[in-house]
Chain A
């Protein structure tokens, strides 16, 4: 018997909404969106946690500039406070080493984190997911009954191919989808219609933001970017009402 599966519900008891930021491909802005969404929701007065589940390529700590912190150990693990976010990442335990793990080990590591991390009361737990809808996504769906997905899309046909597949899989599995965000918008072409055809909410658009790179690692600066303003203007409110 694995005792850990039975405690997860309790660990998430006081977490109101669990949002997995997902998307078919790598490099389309999942991590950036997850981190800036978490900062934005926190700025709007909510208690927010951020959990980086991309164990193969964790990056939320780079985006937030959370390099030299470690969690506290107290009847479990207390995530450190980064700019008002309770932030948890496997990086605390791997430092600068790469983690070569297979899917089964991923499941074990996620189970371990979910059963020992004490989030306390949160309005939102935002999760930065690895690309694709493989085992990690299915693990999260199985282990976290409250999870709902926010899917990042871009206008590229290559990206949309996997986004549509991801959405169809989630729909088939009857998993709640908060909606789709179109990132890195560079011209007028919107994917709104394609998304709404699947009866999935279209949450909004984020333009390609040339100033983003400059702001990386500094939460105050990130909140001033066009990226953050787009989230605050048209996306955060919809997530609050979902």
Chain B
């Protein structure tokens, strides 16, 4: 599962942030899961918990929060906005899986519902991002 590689990236980011802010402990990590990447939340959550064990003290009581983010697109050609729900049903398993690995390949398989243009912008909900890392300082 490549969710593990992304989980590791999240934890490395938390360690880096903790260092930058001199956190003794990280209390909360807020993670956004963009719908387009179709991350397996259970696998991902499990992988994040596992990766947090690399720094037992820093992450002793860390709570990890996941937030689903709807994917929204906008056509650069005609301006139409639409959501991933509108495209999802039309994708084959192989296509969905490809988007899961590299969300940008959505441009190869999806288009604007009005004008069919593949020149669109992913306004939100692309993939994994960290919205905040909270911690307690040493003083």
Contacts and interface: CB of A to CB of B under 8 A. Distances in A.
The answer to whether A and B come from one shared complex is yes
Contacts of B2: 73, 75-77, 116
A74 B3 CA distance: 9
B9 interface: yes
B103 A108 contact: yes
A108 B10 CA distance: 16
B126 A3 contact: no
A10 B5 contact: no
B17 interface: yes
B5 A90 contact: no
Interface residues of A, number: 32
Interface stretch (A94-102, A130-138, A175-183, A206-214): A94-102
Which A-B residue pairs are the 8 nearest by beta carbons?
Answer: A76-B5, A97-B108, A7-B9, A93-B98, A109-B104, A75-B4, A3-B9, A3-B13
Contacts of B45: none
The size class of the interface chain B forms with chain A is: 20 to 34
Interface in B1-54: 1-2, 4-6, 8-10, 12-13, 16-17
Contacts of A100: 107-108, 118-119
Contacts, number: 98
B102 interface: yes
B5 A75 contact: yes
Contacts of A106: 104
A116 B6 contact: yes
Nearest to A94: B108
Interface string A122-156: 00000000000000000000000000000000000
Given A73-B1, A95-B94, 14 more contacts: A1-B132, A6-B12, A73-B2, A75-B2, A76-B4, A77-B2, A90-B102, A94-B105, A95-B98, A97-B109, A100-B107, A100-B108, A109-B105, A115-B9
A193 interface: no
